[in-house]
Chain A
Amino acid sequence: MEKRVTFKGIWLPLLLVLPQIVITAVFFFYPAGQAIWQSLFIPDPFGLSMKYVGLGNFEYLLGNSFYRASFVTTAIFSVLVTLVSMGVALYLAVLADRLIKGSGVYRTLLIWPYAVAPAVAGVLWLFMFSTRVGVVTWYLGLLGYDWNHVLNGGEAMALVVLASAWGRISYNFLFFLAALQSIPRSVIEAAAIDGAHFWTRFRTIVFPLLSPTTFFLLVVNIVYAFFETFGVIHTITAGGPQQSTTILVYKVYSDGFVGQDLGSSAAQSVILLLIVGLLTVVQFKFIERRVHY
């Protein structure tokens, strides 16, 4: 798509794009290039020179059991976060959509956790489930359940999933509610006249009509779980216990900044880059297809 009417001049437009070019070049393309470049080297122990190893860092990573475990952890974590937050959001959106009046009030009440930073959400959930002072921990103790996410990897995973999904419900709720409200009432009423009950209508009409939104949200939530949950993991578990909550982004950070293993960290960045690229392609393909709906 091009504009028919344009202004003349070459220097003015170049001047206009200059700030963006400079900032993006310095803080985006140069570092991204560096990440790719560094992933091909191993620095010597004194940090004085770099040894070229080709794809050695990648081979090492893919053969490394900790890294492969981190892949599995990330997969489990993202799938759980996506399912929990989308499931709860869809449930609430379907309920809100059934109301003739008042869905706006619930929308206001439900959307604001979007504004709570993942790291702050992490602190709130850490407090509730704290092994020593947590309220939920204490009541679980009354029921005879000994909650300890500091030692138990499964409980640690459950806690970071809950904290990450909690803040994400608002976002998914908004998109689901908008999609539900755009379904023509006549379609649903026609089915109701034919005697279809709520569940039948939901399964056979509503859910299929929601599928573009559902698919879009799936991709967006997986990206969220991959990258934006760093704050939750860092505040609640710091990747522990025994790396049971070390997702890939956390590992880039801990290997690069804590472990100072720059070659490996850069190679991990490149792998993440490929994953984001893949997800973006999937998303664009999907948006193209949706045009035909």
Chain B
Amino acid sequence: MTKRTGMVEKRGSGYWLTHVGLIIGVLFIFFPIWLAFVASTVTQADIIRPPMPLWPGEHFIKNYSEALVSGINAPVALMLLNSLVMAMGIAIGKIIISLLSAFAIVYFRFPGRQVFFWLIFLTLMLPVEVRIVPTYEVVANFGLLNSYSGLIFPLIASATATFLFRQFFMTVPDELAEAARVDGARPMRFFLDILLPMSRTNIAALFVILFIYGWNQYLWPLLITTDPSMNTIVMGIKQMLPTGDDFANWPVILATSILAMIPPVIIVISMQRLFVRGLVDSEK
């Protein structure tokens, strides 16, 4: 009798080869992070005499506390706080204004509704990178350089989230609004007591995506935070690299890089299902 093998899924040697292939892929993905982690636990002297070690050293606490407390231009703890405020501001701000306006365009007939809807559509296609110079001028004229408002507002000025909530509200059964109206509930009661609780998963999924989007912003903070104490961590790392011929302080810079990726990575892994859902929703 011949050996039976799976028709589609692999067993035996093919099975192991599949695992080997995947593990190579995982290692390729991990390698840069591993190196950065190792470099963040050794001394500068270990690094400037290549090749650097490939196994962590004993200076983990020293390097990380140096980064957090004093950093190079500004303490990294402060940059983490700035990033947190910016990412939360973008995620929460955008979700609130989008929920309100999506509720209005789905559940009301008001003059200008169609125009508003088309304006939303237009904003779907223009990333901030394309209009940086004039946006910078607007923010400067308002005196918002080096401020949290300046970091947050230009990045919530698009309607992607409104569009998503609109799509979701359209799927909510009409009977619910009907019942609320018969019971004499005011529109805002309906919104707060029925629509919001129903949107919980969508809100959470969008929050994950928007938080990562806000946390990882680079160009915008680079332009408007000239004061090191307002730097966000992602743009602050580049400021730590020397411009001249000096050796970069790699252990501290890479400790900062690791710190910069921890919050969004934790969010992606711990909320994997919401993250995948948010990603699929926001791209379709």
| Chain B CB within 8 A of A21 CB | yes
Partner of B8, one of A109, A134, A169, A189: A189
The answer to whether residues A3 and B170 also contact, given A115-B264, A262-B133 and a CB cut-off of 8 A, is yes
Contact B158 A10 (CB under 8 A): no
Q: Give the distance in Å from the alpha carbon of A280 to the alpha carbon of B33 in the complex.
A: 34
Q: How far is the CB of A50 from chain B (nearest CB, A)?
A: 13
Any chain A CB within 8 A of the CB of B7?
yes
Docked Cα-Cα span, A115 to B271, in Å, equals 12
Q: Which of A53-61, A64-72, A124-132 contacts B (4 or more CB under 8 A)?
A: A124-132
Cβ of A30: which chain B residues have Cβ within 8 Å of it?
134, 138
Q: Which of A5, A33, A98 contacts B18 (CB 8 A)?
A: A98
**Most A-side CB within 10 Å, residue of B39, B108, B135:** B108
Instruction: Tell me if A151 counts as interface (CB < 8 A to partner B).
Output: no
The one of B32, B48, B162, B212 in contact with A133, judged by C-beta atoms closer than 8 angstroms, is B48
Question: Most B CB atoms within 10 A — which of A27, A102, A111, A189?
Answer: A27
Q: With a CB–CB cut-off of 8 A, which chain A residues contact B125?
A: 276-277, 280
**Do B134 and A235 have beta carbons less than 8 Å apart?**
no
- Of the listed stretches B67-75, B199-207, B213-221, chain A binds B213-221
The contact string, 1 if C-beta is below 8 Å from chain A, for chain B 216-256, is 10110011000000000011011001000001001001100
Q: Which residues of A contact B269 (CB under 8 A)?
A: 108, 112
Check B268 against A273 for contact (C-beta < 8 Å): no
Inter-subunit contact A109/B26 (CB<8 Å): yes
Asked whether B25 lies within 8 Å of A17 as measured between CB atoms, the reply is no
With known contacts A31-B135, A31-B138, A132–B247 Cβ distance under 8 A: yes
Shortest CB–CB separation between residue B232 and chain A, in angstroms? 10
**A16 an interface residue at 8 Å Cβ cutoff?**
yes
Asked if B126 and A5 make an inter-chain contact with CB atoms under 8 angstroms apart, the answer reads: no
Say whether A124 contacts B138, CB under 8 Å: no
Report yes or no: A139 in contact with B51, Cβ–Cβ below 8 A: yes
Return chain A residues, CB-CB under 8 Å to B154.
27-28, 31
Could you say which of A124, A193, A230, A266 contacts B219, with CB atoms under 8 Å apart? A230
A19 to B152, CA, bound (A): 14
B35 touches A128 (CB 8 A): yes
User: In the complex, A120→B188 CA distance in Å?
Assistant: 43
- Interface size for B (C-beta < 8 A) is 105
Q: Given A119-B218, A138-B51, decide whether A127 and B39 contact each other with a Cβ distance below 8 A.
A: yes
| CB neighbors of A among B179-196 (8 A) | 181, 187-188, 190
Q: Are B32 and A119 in contact (CB-based, < 8 A)?
A: no
Q: Which residues of A contact B101 (CB under 8 A)?
A: 16-17, 19-21
Name the distance in Å between B206's Cβ and chain A's nearest Cβ. Answer: 15
B93 (CB) vs chain A CBs: closest residue: A23
Taking a contact as CB atoms under 8 Å apart, the answer to whether B100 and A189 are in contact is no
List the 7 closest pairs (A to B, CB-CB), nearest first. A34-B134, A117-B216, A115-B264, A31-B134, A13-B108, A231-B218, A27-B157
List residues of chain B with CB under 8 Å of any chain A CB.
7-10, 14-15, 18-19, 21-22, 25-26, 28-29, 32-33, 35-36, 39, 47-48, 50-52, 54, 96-98, 100-101, 103-113, 116, 119, 123-127, 129-139, 153-154, 156-159, 162, 170, 174, 177-178, 181, 187-188, 190, 212, 215-216, 218-219, 222-223, 234-235, 237-238, 241, 247, 250, 253-254, 257, 260-261, 264-265, 267-269, 272, 275-276, 279-280, 283-284
Q: Could you give 7 example pairs across A and B, Cβ below 8 Å?
A: A3-B170, A27-B138, A28-B123, A116-B261, A256-B132, A269-B133, A280-B124
